[in-house]
Every structure is written in C-alpha cells, then in structure tokens.
Amino acid sequence: MRLPEYKNKTIVVTGSSGFIGSSLIKALKGFPCTIIALDRKTDITGKKTWERVLKNADVLIHLAAQTSAKFANEHPRKDLKTNLIPIVNILETCRDRTVKPDIIFAGTVTQVGLTKTYPVNETTKDQPTTVYDINKLAAEKYLQYYSSHMGGRAVTLRLSNVYGPGPPSSADRGILNQMIRKALDGETLTIYGDGRMIRDYVYIDDVVNAFVMAGAHMETLKGNYYVIGSGTGHAIKEMVHAVREQVRSRTGTKSKIIHVPAPEDLSGIEFRSFIADSTAFKKETGWKAKVLLQDGINRTIDEFLKEQTV
C-alpha cells in the first residue's frame, strides 16, 4: 500500500503497546514516516506530555483508554480523567502552541447505546447507557469542535468488537480472544444466558487498515465519526461454538460449553444486538472489512499457538 499522505510525516500513536496499537505500529513502519509511540507508561492525563509530543506532530492517533464499562460506572471520576481529560488537554495544547495535527480517535459502537434495529450507521441517535460511553461521546464532540472551530482536522472511528492476535484486552473486552485462549487450554467456555445476542466481530488487520485509510483521507472525513465493523452479525453462542470446533479440529483439545445466568451487575449494554453498517466510511476511503469470522478465528489460533511454542 502506497499512501503519499504519510511521507515524511511524524505520527504520534498513544496506547502503542495495547491490542490495536501494537498492530498499528507494525503497519506504520511500512511507511516513510517518523513514529512516536506512547505506551501505557506515558502519562496522557497531563498537559506536559502533549506539549512535548505535539509540537512536531502531523498526525495523532489516540488509542489509549480505560476500556472497562463496569469500571467506568463504578469509578466515573477515574474514567473521566483517563478517557476525556486527555482530549481536553490535547486541544488546549493545540491552541496554546498553535499546532494543528490531524487527530484520529478510537471510539466505540456502544456510544450509540441500546439500538432496537440493526445494522447501525451514522444516522442512529446516540443514547449512551454507560459512563464509559458518555465520556467517549464527549471526547468525540470535543474533536468535532476542533474541526469546526479550531481549524484542525479530526475523525472518530467507532469500533465494533475487535479480535485477533495481540496483547490481551481488559476483562470485559476482547471476549472472542479470551474464548480462543481458554479453548486452547481446554477450559470451560461460558455463555451468559441463551447467547443469542448478535455481535459484529471485526478482525484486527481490517481495523488497522481503517486507521491507516482514515489518515489518508482526513480532508473528507474531518469533523465526522464513522461506524467500523465487518457488516456481518454472529450470535455469541455461534462464535463460541465456532471457536471450540476449530480449536478441537486443529489441536485435538476439547472444551465444554456451559450456559449460566448473567451476573446481576452486568451492564445492560452487554445484552444488545449489533451489526455495523460501514457504507459511509467505505464510500469516502475505499475501505472494507476483508476477513471473515472463520478465517479470523483460524489466524488468531495460529498466532496463539506460536506464542505457546516460544
């Protein structure tokens, strides 16, 4: 892939050691650009970090976040500090230092709340139901202000259920990956309720490509958000059974599947059904999800098996 927009640019990536960030860094190394990688050791909540890294930045890809909806509901102030305050400090730094990097922000499809119909696109009204999603939506609104009133360019990619090779996510994220790891270890796979809720699982390589393509089309994307997913829905129980069968056929390891009642404190957002309609983003950038679920599960199994042999 040759994208001239990245030539000789300085790109700052937060959350560079995380699930998406680590894969994105690998992809960006294929471009003639300078990469500034900020991992979890970096304090993203204070202005000093941004004053240091934004002075020469052409692009900021902001992935670093607190990703647990349960934690956010229990500790709203801490979630605010991690998920919203950095965006405010970024914009203040841009204003005070007169810098205007392109900003690509990792949002989440759960910002829209509990939708009654699907697939879901950018026309659906946002009605967030968790503190996590409220702060993500607020951050997105700040970035729209950056585009409309500060002369900058920003876009939010609202990501569906991302899976694939990479470091583990928080306990209530990356469920598909967790199921694969448990199946490889022969552990019991647990499904809450009947498992009929629909999810849109999108493979990590497709998500990384979405960020890369966003950076190359900022003039048309600026000020907007886009729903990013595979466009295909799978029931949770369908996913779990697919994982068990593929692990068993590949390794001989057998796992039991059980259905249990959902915990009483489980957020209502976990009971949603969702499929992404990424038509708008595809129209603007030419991007589309290419990896089907069965293939993505197999690729992830391959990588996890490699980890076990190292």
Q: Assign 266 a pLDDT band (cuts: 50, 70, 90).
A: confident
Question: Taking phi first (over 0 means left), then psi (-120 to 50 degrees means alpha), and beta for anything else, what does residue 252 get?
Answer: left
Mean pLDDT of the region 90-99 = 97
Tell me, what amino acid is at 258?
I
Mean pLDDT of the region 271-297 = 97
**136-156 pLDDT tens trace:** 999 999 999 999 999 999 999
pLDDT at residue 43 greater than cutoff 80: yes
Do the Cβ atoms of 108 and 138 come closer than 8 Å? no
d(CA 248, CA 180) in angstroms, rounded, equals 11
Which one has a higher pLDDT value, 170 or 21? 21
pLDDT at residue 171 greater than cutoff 70: no
Instruction: Give a yes or no: residue 187 inside a domain.
Output: no
pLDDT at residue 116 greater than cutoff 90: no
59 to 10, 91, 105, 154, 218: CA distances (angstroms): 7, 14, 11, 10, 10
| pLDDT of 170 | 63
Do the Cβ atoms of 163 and 292 come closer than 8 Å? no
Residue 42: CATH number of its domain: 3.40.50.720
User: Comparing 1-10, 24-33, 66-75, 200-209, which segment has the lowest mean pLDDT?
Assistant: 1-10
Instruction: Give a yes or no: residue 306 inside a domain.
Output: no
Residue with tokens 């607190």: 66
* pLDDT, mean over the chain: 95
What's the number of CA atoms in the CB half-sphere (13 Å) around residue 277? 10
CB atoms within 10 A of CB 278: 27
Instruction: Give a yes or no: residue 48 inside a domain.
Output: yes
- What proportion of the chain, given as a percentage, has pLDDT over 90? 91
Instruction: Give a yes or no: residue 149 inside a domain.
Output: yes
118 to 123, 174, 275: CA distances (angstroms): 12, 21, 6
Instruction: Give a yes or no: residue 260 inside a domain.
Output: no
Instruction: Give a yes or no: residue 95 inside a domain.
Output: yes
CB atoms within 10 A of CB 99: 17
Mean pLDDT of the region 26-43 = 95
d(CA 67, CA 70) in angstroms, rounded, equals 9
d(CA 67, CA 296) in angstroms, rounded, equals 23
Mean pLDDT of the region 195-218 = 97
Burial of 172 (0-12, 13-18, 19+ CB in 10 A): middle
How does strand 34-38 pair with strand 10-14? parallel
Rg (CA), the chain: 19
Do the Cβ atoms of 281 and 122 come closer than 8 Å? no
Do the Cβ atoms of 226 and 220 come closer than 8 Å? no
- Does this model's pTM top 0.85? My answer is yes
Mean pLDDT of the region 172-199 = 94
Q: Domain tally for the chain?
A: 1
Instruction: Give a yes or no: residue 35 inside a domain.
Output: yes
Which one has a higher pLDDT value, 268 or 279? 279
Which candidate, 92, 196, 186, places its Cα nearest to that of 146? 92
Q: Which residues pair with 11 in a beta bridge?
A: 35, 59
Do the Cβ atoms of 123 and 174 come closer than 8 Å? no
**3-class SS at 55?**
coil
Which candidate, 6, 47, 58, 20, places its Cα nearest to that of 205? 20
pLDDT at residue 2 greater than cutoff 80: no
| pLDDT of 4 | 76
Residue 71 structural domain: 8-162+202-231+276-290
Mean pLDDT of the region 241-248 = 98
Instruction: Give a yes or no: residue 236 inside a domain.
Output: no
